[in-house]
Amino acid sequence: MTSDGTGHQTKFGPKGEPVTQLEITGMTCESCATHVKQALEKVPGVRSAGVSYATGIARLAMASDTPLASLKSAVASLGYRAALADAPPGPKSESLWGKALSLLGGGHKAIGKAGELHVAVIGSGGGAMAAALKAAEQGARVTLIERGTIGGTCVNIGCVPSKIMIRAAHIAHLRRESPFDRGITASAPVIDRQALHAQQQARVEELRHAKYEKILQANPAITVLHGCARFKDGERLIVQMTGGGEREVAFDRCLVATGATPAVPPIPGLKDTPFWTSTEALASETMPDRLAVIGSSVVALELAQAFARLGSKVTILARNTLFFHEDPAIGKTVTDTFRAEGIEVLEHTQASHVAWVGGEFVLATSRGERRVERLLVATGRAHNTSDLGLDLAGVRLNAQGAIVIDRAMRTSAPNIYAAGDCTDQPQFVYVAAAAGTRAAINMTGGAAVLDLGAMPAVVFTDPQVATVGLSQAQAQAQGIETDSRLLTLDNVPRALANFDARGFIQVVAERGSGRLLGVQAVADQAGELIQAAALAIGNRMTVDDLAGQLFPYLTMVEGLKLCAQTFSKDVTQLSCCAG
């Protein structure tokens, strides 16, 4: 046996030809060995390969300058691991604490040059990407499996395209009317939806390439498989490859981050019609003259206002009130704003039947028949968990089909974690990303948790809706005595300077201690001010602490300070900058 300049440990066969031996781990059958053989023989420089499932050894006849990295990469692309068979063994000892962590599904399995710890990630959205990158950073070898477009919902068909459309609609609205029309002549804009859509999609593709595809391509520790994954058991996945055939992927740890898709309510006749979900609405290159929206929360209301501002006559059918899960003041303010803009809001109204007749939708409702050109259904999102074989891996779901996880993102199955919209966590991409990062830390031996006690949320209507912490009703339901103040925006100098006093800021505090519990805001730029509230709540500040802080004059976030001051004084009697 000799060693050459490439680092190969080379043996010689019975005819004197050089043979390199690799140890292949992760194979579970003879078919696996066949796949490995085929992959190795495609590596430039390899003349022939023989792979034995029984011994786990691959014997290669190849050029002496064939890079070892190329061999390992070929094997890794199948979900297996390759190491030189004659490489010196690593340390075998393991502490009792390490063994205990391993049994519990945590712990840091020894990671050597061959990447003994293999993390499989199902999905490629915010949670999956965060986990894959962090696991690779921690020294693990990662196989990321995506059945569709790289990047998941947010960048492709969710957050990014919707916010671009909403911003375009806001510009159209300002050109049509503003509080300054007596001094600045308004004019009705001409909407070219096809051009707007092209601009929207160009930015989507740019961000997907820069923030997902390019990063994955540049990371040698991450292998991407395109196909549908399902669990064979608690240690193996079967991947139905997009190009045909299937592969088995053995893992040491696995993260499920498969997201969610628009839910479709069981309205008679609906499934037989060409209705829109948010996906089709954002992809449309035309503007309907008449649009009905079924739904009363985030996606429904963001898109309803955007379509209305771009020229559609919009009717919202809400089975309750708008934002009925939130503080009642939020729904009332948004409803009043929408109606003032010409959006028809039908509260406590449901469609009992939907039909597609003569090129239009016919909706039977408790308020009579409605006929519209397009119908958008936005009644929530369903967890993507039904076709993963989670039961075979021992992963528990709740009644809604969400994966149940703890604060460390562990599922009920050893070595399987989950993050994002497929779980029982709040469905926000930044929550998914935070969960994915912490899951990766835990899968590689750490001990990270995700605290959602001060989680901010934003709805990009105009005015925006932003919340953090507990509402008054939520706090009282937990047995906390509360004190709250609601400050209308006609008390906020920035709002007055903008000639736009729509909305309010509300602060909820614990009675007696004054500790901040929650903030709700409906205001221009509410999404920008809510993070200050989140930091204050996270640091257990009181209303007096908040009222005593320095806030820049003529900013919307100054409204937080003013609202905190109302707990102890009448702010209408203060000068503009009174501290």
pLDDT digits 0-9 by tens, 164-221 = 999 999 999 999 999 999 999 999 999 999 999 999 999 999 999 999 999 999 999 9
Q: Active site includes 62?
A: no
Catalytic residue among 154, 254, 541, 556: 154
Burial of 486 (0-12, 13-18, 19+ CB in 10 A): middle
The CA-based dihedral angle spanning residues 146, 147, 150, 151, taken in that order and rounded to the nearest 10 degrees: -80
Q: Active site includes 577?
A: yes
Burial of 252 (0-12, 13-18, 19+ CB in 10 A): buried
pLDDT for the residue 549: 95
pLDDT for the residue 54: 73
At residue 111, does pLDDT exceed 50? no
pLDDT for the residue 86: 53
How does residue 538 score in pLDDT terms, banded at 50, 70 and 90?
A: very high
pLDDT for the residue 573: 83
Mean pLDDT confidence for 227-231? 98
- Range in 105-109, 277-281, 334-338, 378-382 with the lowest mean pLDDT: 105-109
pLDDT for the residue 88: 41
The string over 264-283, giving b where at least 16 C-beta atoms fall within 10 Å of a residue's C-beta and e elsewhere, is: eeebebbeebebbbbeebbe
pLDDT for the residue 485: 97
pLDDT for the residue 69: 81
Catalytic residue among 27, 409, 455, 556: 27
Mean pLDDT confidence for 97-124? 57
pLDDT for the residue 25: 81
How does residue 9 score in pLDDT terms, banded at 50, 70 and 90?
A: very low
User: CB-hemisphere CA count at 13 Å for 134?
Assistant: 23
- Encoded tokens for 98: 């390490």
Q: Active site includes 409?
A: no
**Cα(363)–Cα(354) distance, integer angstroms:** 5
pLDDT for the residue 94: 38
Q: Active site includes 27?
A: yes
How does residue 14 score in pLDDT terms, banded at 50, 70 and 90?
A: very low
Mean pLDDT confidence for 308-320? 98
CA 532 remoteness from chain centre:
23
At residue 5, does pLDDT exceed 60? no
At residue 520, does pLDDT exceed 90? yes
User: CB-hemisphere CA count at 13 Å for 279?
Assistant: 12
pLDDT for the residue 436: 98
At residue 524, does pLDDT exceed 80? yes
Per-residue pLDDT tens for 44-61? 889 999 998 778 899 999
pLDDT for the residue 124: 97
Residue pair 498/519 in contact (Cβ under 8 Å)? The answer is no
The full set of domains in the chain, from first to last, is: 7-84 (3.30.70.100), 118-151+203-262+382-443 (3.50.50.60), 270-379 (3.50.50.60), 457-573 (3.30.390.30)
Per-residue pLDDT tens for 407-447? 999 999 999 999 999 999 999 999 999 999 999 999 999 99
pLDDT for the residue 115: 45
Looking at every residue in the chain, the average pLDDT score rounds to 90
How does residue 579 score in pLDDT terms, banded at 50, 70 and 90?
A: low
**Cα(528)–Cα(463) distance, integer angstroms:** 12
Q: Active site includes 32?
A: yes
Residue pair 459/301 in contact (Cβ under 8 Å)? The answer is yes
At residue 90, does pLDDT exceed 60? no
Mean pLDDT confidence for 453-476? 97
At residue 101, does pLDDT exceed 50? no
pLDDT for the residue 80: 73
pLDDT for the residue 18: 66
At residue 13, does pLDDT exceed 80? no
At residue 70, does pLDDT exceed 90? no
At residue 567, does pLDDT exceed 70? yes
At residue 113, does pLDDT exceed 50? no
Catalytic residue among 443, 541, 553, 577: 577
Mean pLDDT confidence for 253-280? 97
DSSP code string of 403-456: BP--TT-B-SSTTEEE-STTBTS-S-HHHHHHHHHHHHHHHTT-------TT--
Catalytic residue among 62, 165, 553, 576: 576
**Cα(213)–Cα(149) distance, integer angstroms:** 10
Catalytic residue among 32, 129, 422, 443: 32
- Encoded tokens for 71: 């061999």
**Of the spans 83-97, 104-118, 224-238, which averages the highest pLDDT?**
224-238
Catalytic residue among 1, 129, 159, 443: 159
State the pTM of this model.
Answer: 0.80
Look at strands 313-317 and 290-294 and give their pairing.
parallel
At residue 463, does pLDDT exceed 60? yes
pLDDT for the residue 263: 96
Catalytic residue among 62, 80, 417, 443: 80
Mean pLDDT confidence for 340-347? 98
Q: Active site includes 154?
A: yes
pLDDT for the residue 8: 47
